[in-house]
Amino acid sequence: MTMTWEDLLFMHWEAPVELIRARLPAGLELDTFKGRAYVGVVPFRMSRVRGRFLPPLPGASAFPELNVRTYVMRRGRPGVWFFSLDAGSPLAVRAARACFLLPYFDAAMSVAATGEGYTYESRRTHRGAPSASLRMGYAPIGPARRAPAETLDRWLTDRLTLYAADQRGRIFRSDVSHGPWPLQPARAQIDDNHMTDALGLPLVGEPLLHFARRLEVRAWWPMRT
pLDDT above 80: residue 176: yes
% of residues, the chain, pLDDT over 90: 91
Q: What is the pLDDT of residue 61?
A: 78
Q: How far apart are CA 191 and CA 22, in angstroms?
A: 29
Q: Yes or no: say if 183 and 153 are a contact pair by the CB < 8 Å rule.
A: yes
> CA 189, 195, 169 angle in degrees (round to 5)?
150
Q: How confident is the model at residue 116 (pLDDT cuts 50, 70, 90)?
A: confident
Q: What is the pTM of this model?
A: 0.95
- Whether residue 54 has pLDDT greater than 80: no
Q: Does residue 149 register a pLDDT over 70?
A: yes
Give the integer Cα–Cα distance in Å for 24 and 70.
9
Domains of the chain: 2-224 (2.40.400.10)
pLDDT over threshold 80, residue 51? no
Residue 69 reports pLDDT greater than 70: yes
Q: At residue 2, does pLDDT exceed 90?
A: yes
First and final CA of the chain: distance in angstroms?
A: 20
Q: Does pLDDT of 53 surpass 60?
A: no
Q: What is the residue-averaged pLDDT of the chain?
A: 95
